[in-house]
Amino acid sequence: MDDWKDKLHLVYTTHPSAHSDTPSEPESSEPPSAQRLVVGIERKGRGGKTVTWVRGFRGPGIEVLCKVLKTRCGVGGSVKEGEILIQGDKKQAVAEHLRQLGYGVKVSG
């Protein structure tokens, strides 16, 4: 089941290869323990909505890390200009999840 067309009409399966799309851990050229990420919140310029940002990630895999954080926090988000944006005030939750993944974390403000 390596071809995406095979999965297109898939309704349910317990076969392990069918679940290979779920990210387990972000891939990076540097180990998580060598990276120091800064987490903060921002309200200005966003129409009154709060956004949690993560800065300082180096290497490939920022999209995967964003997806992991969005899934664990149960909210939306995106990657823009090298920073991860998570919807809502999830600063403490994001910091805790990053620590569990092995990253060095500094909470700003």
Q: Specify the pLDDT at position 70.
A: 96
Answer with the residue of higher pLDDT: 9 or 108.
108
Question: pLDDT digit string (tens) for 10-36?
Answer: 666 676 666 555 555 555 467 888 889
Q: Hey, what are 9's tokens?
A: 């009409």
Q: What are phi and psi of 87, to 5 degrees?
A: -70, 135
Q: What is the dihedral of CA 13, 19, 22, 27, to 10 degrees?
A: 170
**Does residue 20 or residue 71 have the better pLDDT?**
71
Residues sharing a CB contact under 8 Å with residue 90, sequence separation 6 or more, in sequence order? 52, 73, 75
DSSP 82-100: TEEEEESS-HHHHHHHHHH
Confidence of residue 46 (pLDDT cuts 50, 70, 90): confident
The residue that leads in pLDDT, 1 or 55, is: 55
Written out in words, the top-level CATH class of the domain with range 24-107 is alpha beta
